[in-house]
Amino acid sequence: MDLLEKRIAQLEANMKEMQQELAELRQERRGTDRNPEAQTTPHNASLPPYTGGQQGYAAYGQAGMQHNPQQGISGYPSQSQSYQGSPPQGYYQAQGTGQPNPPGMNPYAYNQQRPNIPQEPKPPKDWEHLIARVWLPRVFIVVLLLGVLWGFTAAVSAGYLTEPVRCLLGVVVAAVMYWLGERQIRSQREALGQVLLGGAIGVLILSVFAAHELYSLIPSALAFVLYILSIALCVFTAQRRRSQTLMIIATVAGYLIPFLVHSAHPNAWVFTGYEAIFSLAMIAVALKFDYRAAYYVAVGVLHLPLLIGYAAGDFGESRHIFIAAVFIQHAVLLAYAYFGPSRRKLDETLSLFPGYGVMALWIYALYPFTEDSIHWRPLMLIGWALIYSLAALGKYMKGERPPVYISIATAAWFLWALDILNQSYSPAAAIVIGTAGLILGFKLKNYMQQITAAAVFLYGVSGTLFLIIHDLFSAPSLSWLILLISIAVLSYVIRHMSETIIFDRLPDILMWADALLAIIFITQITNVLTADLTYDFRHLVLSAVWALYAIAVIVCGMIFQRQMVRIAGLGLLFLTLVKVIIVDLPDVSVAVRAILFIGLGALGMFVSRLLYKRKDSSSPAPAPAPDEAAIDP
């Protein structure tokens, strides 16, 4: 109470000093306003009115026109004056500045200059404060606890402390540490006080554990209640002292309570129910008091005790209960992100996306694709895909950008497609989902969606490139065909967008890649169709197909007036020539060589004539020669 009264008296004295200074400033201002010499000058009538142009009052701040805003310049008005065309009173306050002319700023400029205030140098780090007041108590509280533990062990070995006395002594020590921690915080020693408070909660929990598990002095139900009360005390202390560290300690300790209670017959409902309810309670507390680190701990640590409990206990038949706890937490996170305040976009991204990934791992771990009559895994995957798709649609209909929901929906549909389709058809499904996701991400200008869809698309592309076509109508043929169509569609969509995506040449790069992949595709198809022919005819047909493909590309470039397409066709024609010389020429017969060279040479001449004809038809007709009679001498 004495300290509080001293602070109140100090605050009252400071308020009186501020009132006295304010009265003196008002008196000085009144004296300035009443000064007749500062009110008028002989040159006021010659000043032009403000016209609102680029010069305006800012012109008075140019080189050669600088003045002292405190003393004024002869012929120009002072700060307390105004003249015809000057800014109205209150203009600078409306502009968001508390004073009309800050130091270093032209007083007649219309918010076109900024005060040139030098930044103060960053003070050096106080290592003495950091070590002595922050880390020293944290380290030596551990040393103190170890010393107490060894002293406790020595006293027990000597027979001085019985089992009930040991437990009561632990409670007393916890109470003393808690009192000392509160006293240190009241004395403005926050770091030391928080360490003592956290240590007090730890000693209290250890005392209850010793009384229950080691000495069997209290039953399981009472031990569970005492654990809950200890965690509640820690949460109350963290909220009272605004300590996120204590909140994290309470969260971790609360997750471990089921492992500290002895039970001859563990119950999956009780275990998972407690973990899920405690997780939601700590998430709510962390969100209410804006403890970001405690929020992530409450969200992520739940999976660790569930995993340990499922692996250590005989809960093979209770997998639905464990997955339900994971689903409930993720559903609450999704509901809060959807209906909660929009200021936590980062929290949505860092909790929903990894949370869905961990949940998918739980689904794959607990529900392998077995001979069960009900295939739970695809049902769960498509259920969450629909939920996130509806959430993204709802946000879009509200006029909001749904970056997280649509990205997770894309990943969810991808996982579902991989789960229900054969391995041969999964690349085609990934390409379709990735293409649709990329187009949607480009339309919505959603970078997270673009990255997610690009990852799915690249998975499909890499899977397709390793597929070898053995039959004309097969899964590899379908995957290759879908890949070629998807790249062409992406190039078309990006080319016709209002804004450039990534860089200008991306559509052209996609078309070049599509053309090269088309060569691989038609090569495999040709090899399948000519599998029964002789070696010479197979090479002959393949080279002919390559040449025809090059001609088709050139013709398309002429039709659509695309120079790059025509150049690509010419490049393919030269590539065919290189293929004939390097691959076909050494192994085929002389007759086949003659056919290859005659056909390829004829096609080259035909393409050259075709391009000449196009150039002649597109070039303007030459102007007629002027009449000689019209020429002036």
Is the predicted pLDDT of residue 510 greater than 70, yes or no?
yes
What residues contact residue 403 under an 8 Å CB cut-off, 6+ apart?
349, 446, 447, 448, 449
Four-residue CA torsion sign, 362, 337, 283, 325: negative
Buried b (16+ CB within 10 A) or exposed e, 291-320: beebbbbbbebbbebbeebbeeeebeebbe
pLDDT > 90: what percent of the chain? 24
**Domain limits, the chain:** 136-264, 421-522, 530-614
Counting Cβ atoms within 10 Å, is residue 221 exposed (0-12), middle (13-18) or buried (19+)? exposed
> What value does the mean pLDDT take over residues 333-350?
76
Residue whose entry in the numeric block shows the structure tokens 């649609």: 393
Q: So what's the pLDDT on residue 44? A: 43
Give the model's pLDDT for residue 429: 94
Distance (Å, rounded) from C-alpha 194 to C-alpha 205?
17
Residues 6+ apart with CB under 8 A from 10: none
* Between residues 544 and 535, the one the model is more confident about: 544
Q: What is the pLDDT confidence band of residue 67, given thresholds at 50, 70 and 90?
A: very low
Sequential DSSP letters for 564-615: HHHHHHHHHHHHHHHHIIIIITTTS-HHHHHHHHHHHHHHHHHHHHHHHHHH
Q: What is the pLDDT of residue 2?
A: 63
Query: Coil, strand or helix: which one is 77?
Result: coil
Residue 46 structure tokens: 């010659």
- Candidates 210, 208, 305; CA nearest to 252 is 305
Q: Which residue has the tokens 């405190």?
A: 70
Residue predicted with more confidence, 629 or 184: 184
Cα distance between residue 234 and residue 254, in whole Å: 10
Mean pLDDT of the chain: 77
Q: Which of 574, 585, 464 is nearest to 514 (CA)?
A: 464
Alpha helical stretches, state H, 40-162: 91-94, 127-129, 136-158
State the pLDDT at residue 32. Answer: 60
Q: Are 500 and 507 in contact (CB under 8 A)?
A: no
Q: What single-letter amino acid sits at 7?
A: R
Under the banding of pLDDT at 50, 70 and 90, the label for residue 348 is low
Q: What is the CA radius of gyration of the chain?
A: 40
Residues 386-408 pLDDT 10s: 999 999 999 888 887 777 899 99
- Are 50 and 58 in contact by the 8 Å Cβ rule? The answer is no
Q: Where are the alpha helices (DSSP H) in 473-589?
A: 475-495, 506-529, 535-559, 563-579
458-506 pLDDT per residue, tens = 999 999 998 888 888 889 999 999 999 999 999 888 888 756 455 677 8
AA identity, residue 476: P
Lowest-confidence pick of 389-398, 523-532, 533-542: 533-542
Give residue-wise pLDDT tens across range 364-390. 998 886 655 568 899 999 999 999 999
Query: What residue has token string 């020293």?
Result: 136
State the Cα–Cα distance between residues 194 and 247, nearest whole angstrom: 11
Distance in angstroms (rounded) separating the CA atoms of residues 255 and 232: 13
* pLDDT per position as a tens digit, 87-129: 454 444 444 444 445 554 444 444 444 555 556 666 777 676 6
